[in-house]
Structure 1
C-alpha cells in the first residue's frame, strides 16, 4: 500500500483531458498537453485506419463510444485508467474534452458536442482552416460525394480521386471515366470501387511529386475534400499551375461551440481552463 500511495496521489491531482484524435494535429496536441504537469492525456482513435496518427504519449484507446450516450458515459466514468483508478478501484471522469478529429468526421463531432453539454464538460474543437480559392483555381464546389460524381459527367475522362477509401462507392457507376484513387488504406473487401488504379500513400506530398503524378497519369480533373492543412495542399497548387479543374467537396456543418485553428490555440485554451 505504501508503494501505491505516490501514484494514487498523482492520479488525484491531475486533470484528465480526452482528445478525440486520429489526425496529425491531435497527435501533436497529445504530446504538448502531456508536458503540462497538471494534465493526464487520454487519446481516442476511431480505429478506421490501419495506420492512424498514434500519439507518442499518454493513454490511447481505439474504437467507437456507441454514440453520444456512450461518449457521455465515458466522460462521466472513464474506462481508461493508466494509474489504476481511485484508491477504492473506481474510474475517474474526464475533466476536459477536445475534438481534434478530421474536419469531415461530422458524426463524432456532433456526438461530442451533445455529450459534453450533457455532462457539463468544457469542450473545444480544433478545426484547421479550410482551403480558400485563390486566383488561378478552377474549383467546382459541391456539397457531397454524389454531387461530385454528377459534376464529372461530360467534364472528365481521367480523374484523380483523393477523398479516402470510404466514399469510393459514389463513383463506382461512372464506367466511362478512369480513376486514379489515393487512400491511406485499401477499401473494404468486396466494396464497390470505380475503374482505375489504387495508390496507397499518406501525406505530406511535395508539389514536385504531385505535379509529376498529374502529368504521368494524364489527369484532367481532381476530386478532393476541402480538408485544409498543408499535408495534401500541394495537389491543389499543382492543379492550379496545370489549369486542371478541382471538384471540391465542402465540409459538413460543425457544432456551434468554441473553436481554435491550431494546436497552439488548443494549448492556450487548456491552460486557461486550469
Structure 2
C-alpha cells in the first residue's frame, strides 16, 4: 500500500520504524514546527498541505491507499482536515489517538477547555507558574503579567511571552517523575499549567505535582472526528497489517 502518515509524535516515529523496510511505500508528513526534527527512515515531507482540499489533492496525486493521522492530541485542525480529505478521496483513514490522563486520588486539577482559559484559572494573585503548553500558545499569558513564569519548550521562546518575570528552559522529553519533582521543588513551583496530552513521555510532571500537592491547571483534549482509531503504534501496525490483507 501507499501510506501517508501525518506525524510529529512518538507514536508516529514508532509506526514509521515498524513500517520501514516493509512492502508498503510510506511517506511521513511533518508540520514543520520543530526546527530540527528527528531523521526518519522513510520518505519525509515538511510543511502544510493547504487545508483539507490541498491534502486531498496530494492524496490523489500520490495514489495514496491509506491515511494515518498520528498527530498530537491537540492538533485539532489537521484531524478535521485529514478526515475530510480521506472522505473526499474515498480512502480509509486511521487515527492513532493516545488516551488522555485521568484524574487520580490526590490530583488537584482545574480542568479547562483551552489554553486561553488557563489565564483566568490562575487567578489574580501572583504565583510562580510552571508552563508546559508549547511555544505557540504562550502569548495568551501576557494578559496576566503578575505571575512569575517558568516556561519549558522544545523550541526557543524568544519574544513569545513578554512579561516582567520569565525563566525559560529548552528541553525535550521524556521527563521522569523524580526529576520533575526535584525541579519543581528547587524552582519553588506553586502551580503547573499543562495540556492533557496523555501518554507516558510527559506524565512525570503530573505525577510529581500530585506528590508535591501542587495544583494543576490542565487543558482537556479537543474533540476530533469519529474515524477508525487505535491507541498506540503497536495497535496501528496490527490494524494496517489486517487492512492490507483484506
Note the residue ranges of structure 2 that are not aligned, 5 or more in a row: none
Aligned residue number for residue 152 of structure 1: 122
Note the residue ranges of structure 1 that are not aligned, 5 or more in a row: 1-14, 79-92
TM-score (norm 2): 0.95
- 1:136 and 1:243 in contact (8 A); partners too: yes
Q: Distance in 2 between matches of 1:17 and 1:147?
A: 37
TM-score (norm 1): 0.86
- 2:126 and 2:146 in contact (8 A); partners too: no
CA deviations 1:115-154 (Å, max 9, x no partner) are: 0000011100000111000001000000011211100014
Aligned residue number for residue 88 of structure 1: none
Asked whether 1:273 is paired with 2:243, we answer: yes
Q: Which residue of the other structure, out of 187, 200, 204, is the alignment partner of 2:170?
A: 200
Asked whether 1:40 is paired with 2:25, we answer: yes
CA RMSD between the two structures: 1.3
Matches within 5 A, 1:24-173: 24-37=10-23, 39-55=24-40, 57-78=41-62, 93-154=63-124, 157-173=127-143
Instruction: State the Cα distance separating 1:265 from its structure 2 match.
Output: 1.1
CA deviations 1:170-218 (Å, max 9, x no partner) are: 101212110100000013x543444311100000011121011101110
Matches within 5 A, 1:7-26: 15-26=1-12
Q: Distance in 2 between matches of 1:224 and 1:34?
A: 33
Q: Distance in 2 between matches of 1:156 and 1:147?
A: 17
Q: Which has the larger radius of gyration?
A: 1
Q: Distance in 2 between matches of 1:254 and 1:223?
A: 23
Q: Distance in 2 between matches of 1:51 and 1:135?
A: 39
- 1:156 and 1:221 in contact (8 A); partners too: no
CA deviations 1:224-243 (Å, max 9, x no partner) are: 00000111100011100010
Number of matched pairs? 243
